[in-house]
Amino acid sequence: MKDNLEKDQFDLLRKIHKSPRSSQRHLANDLGFSLGKLNYCLKELKKKGLVKIKSFQKQKDKISHLRYLLTPKGVAFRTKLTINFMKKKNARIRPAQKRIRGKF
């Protein structure tokens, strides 16, 4: 379960970094999340201090829109998750590489 949560958080952090002005509905669709799951993940990321949620308006009489920003702590966390992912993948690949090298 922890791995899935970290993967979801990593995917969301990556998506926010690429398009901070995306709506919640757009983020949810792109990630394959329900709106409820997306809201839960955003709240957890905000609680951990990894994301800031800013409200902005183009015009005073219009409804406000949200912008999601990665904090420096969020960038560091995303980097840590990327490194851990690469280590896990590398650990899976190395035995296969050894077997292949042994055949030739």
* pLDDT tens-digit map of 4-40: 778 888 899 999 999 888 888 999 999 999 999 999 9
pLDDT of residue 1: 45
Give the three-class secondary structure for 55: strand
Q: What is the residue extent of each domain of the chain?
A: 2-97
35, 23 Cβ separation under 8 angstroms: no
pLDDT of residue 47: 93
Length of the chain: 104
Q: What is the CATH number of domain 2-97?
A: 1.10.10.10
Q: Residue 2 — pLDDT band, cuts 50, 70, 90?
A: low
pLDDT of residue 96: 82
| pLDDT 10s digits, 90-101 | 888 888 888 888
Mean per-residue pLDDT, 46-73:
79
| Closest listed residue to residue 77, CA positions, set 6, 18, 28, 29 | 6
Mean per-residue pLDDT, 31-52:
92
